[in-house]
Amino acid sequence: MPPSGNQTYGPTYENGRQQNWFQYSQCNGRKKALCVGINYFGQQAELKGCINDATNVQQFLCRKYGYKPDDIVMLTDDAANPAQQPTRANMLRAMQWLVGDAHPNDSLFFHFSGHGGQTKDLDGDEEDGYDEVIYPVDFESAGHIVDDELHFVMVKPLPPGCRLTAIFDCCHSGSALDLPFMYSTEGKIKEPNLLAEAGQGLLNTGLTYLKGDKKGALKGLFNVVKTAAGKNNAAAEHAKQTRTSPADAISWSGCKDSQTSADTVEAGQSTGAMSYAFIKCLTENPHQTYQQLLVSIREELRNKYSQKPQLACSHPMDTSILFIC
């Protein structure tokens, strides 16, 4: 189980006191959830399994983790009630409800199944230069929701020790909640990818080498790595300074920022691959550490899909503790 009390990390003051801290949630307070499933009926890129995903996650939370149906808001585009349609306004309003009046040890759950994408980063917190976005049902008229906004609406208001578990079953979702600490299947924090933005630079370097200018190629490669390293380290540092939180926010996403997530059929039902794998892995083995669960989900999808689910957190975490929500 997660330890209680303040958890300290990072640099120390002159008096020896550590500067940064957070609290794990014991998840024994109030439980609330928001499940969003959008099939985009009649639109150009209609999906099939997203409403099923929202329903399946709702039932899973009630069955396995003690959530009550009255404390779960459902937004799906088959809803007859306009207030339950997953429009941009309704989604943001429901997110505010989810985190409103949050207390330490509460457990809040957000699930989104639908379309995701990317747009140019404007504030310098993205290593690859692009913000991640999710698409409400009315995105063509109302616009998308950027990861910066998702973070400031759902993570920033949380008190220390309050859990937010978020699942993004959509394309380009690796950092969809803008949480600065991403974890590998070894349970370690991923370092910035120094060549994330260097594709064109490496191509030019390769052409220089083919033309016989080996010195120029080596110089070009050095400049590419130096430039990419500078941009990535600056973005990673900016993200840690502006997105780190003493609250206990966790994000499970269906794929890397550069990948797509499958809308597929599993067990005879249309579903998102990530939502299906998350429920299946925890149903078969409810007592898994964060690292074990990430490995389990990856293994469940590995032989059929190219997407690689991601785990991120608002603070440095011990991935050997038990996943609870």
Q: Give catalytic residues, as residue numbers.
A: 115, 171
Q: Whole-angstrom Cα distance, residue 214 to residue 217?
A: 5
The CB density around residue 151, as the number of other CB atoms within 10 Å, is 24
Q: Whole-angstrom Cα distance, residue 235 to residue 249?
A: 20
**Which alpha helices (DSSP H) does the chain contain, by range?**
50-65, 88-99, 139-142, 147-154, 199-210, 214-243, 273-284, 290-302
Q: Whole-angstrom Cα distance, residue 89 to residue 153?
A: 13
Q: Are 73 and 93 in contact (CB under 8 A)?
A: no
Taking the C-alpha atoms of 313, 318, 321 and 324 in order, what is their torsion angle to the nearest 10 degrees?
A: -10
Q: Whole-angstrom Cα distance, residue 313 to residue 316?
A: 7
